[in-house]
């Protein structure tokens, strides 16, 4: 018999099997060492007990309680935030185009009501002095919102440990 007995971890590794390169050495030792073999038997019996289903008995009606507590469809709920941010980003982009390309003037030709709104809007705009780079910054804000929406959809969900 070898002088050095197997440790508890080595015996458990032998019980579990697997690809440990030392398993053959453990086996040779166990063949010769009564003390370690006795310990291995104890671990084997423990494993049998732990493998046995304890047959927990939950209260009946779990399925019904869960079904009645479910929120709206997960996909719709998840899309709602993203869609709102995308819509807001799109609105900013369109507004920027209307302001800086003069597209809003086309509405004035549709009806007198739009004509009045157009006139007052035009007067208001004429009093506003926009910095030269605003034409660049506003679409950038829209783009930034789109990036946030994308991050919300991917990175943040993953960070919460809820992606597969």
Name the minimum Å distance from CB 47 to another protein.
7
CA distances from 39 to 14, 77, 126, 127 (A): 12, 55, 91, 90
Does the protein bind another protein through residue 21 (CB under 8 A)? no
- Tell me if 125 sits within 8 A of 100, measured CB to CB: no
| 38 touching another protein, by CB under 8 A | yes
Cα separation of 46 and 16, whole Å?
12
43 lines the binding site for another protein (CB under 8 A): yes
Give Cα separations from 108 to 4, 76, 96, 120 (angstroms): 96, 38, 18, 11
Looking at residues 72 to 111 of the shown chain, list those that interact with another protein (rule: CB under 8 A): 73-79
Interface stretch with another protein, choices 22-30, 52-60, 89-97, 112-120 (CB under 8 A): 52-60
Task: Write out the residues near another protein by the rule CB under 8 A.
Answer: 8-9, 12, 38, 41-43, 45-56, 58-59, 62-63, 65-67, 69-71, 73-79, 157, 161-164
């Amino acid at each position: 018999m070898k002088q050095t007995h197997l440790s508890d971890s080595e015996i458990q590794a032998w019980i579990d099997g697997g690809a440990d390169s030392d398993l053959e050495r453990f086996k040779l030792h166990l063949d010769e060492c009564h003390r370690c073999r006795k310990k291995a038997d104890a671990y084997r019996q423990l494993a049998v007990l732990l493998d046995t289903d304890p047959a927990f008995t939950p209260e009946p009606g779990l399925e019904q309680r869960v079904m009645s507590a479910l929120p709206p469809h997960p996909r719709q709920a998840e899309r709602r935030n993203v869609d709102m941010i995308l819509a807001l980003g799109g609105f900013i982009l369109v507004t920027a185009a209307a302001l800086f390309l003069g597209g809003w003037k086309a509405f004035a030709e549709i009806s007198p009501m739009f004509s009045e709104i157009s006139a007052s809007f035009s007067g208001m705009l004429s009093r506003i002095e926009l910095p030269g780079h605003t034409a660049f910054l506003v679409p950038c804000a829209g783009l930034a919102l789109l990036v946030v929406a994308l991050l919300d959809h991917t990175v943040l969900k993953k960070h919460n440990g809820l992606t597969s």
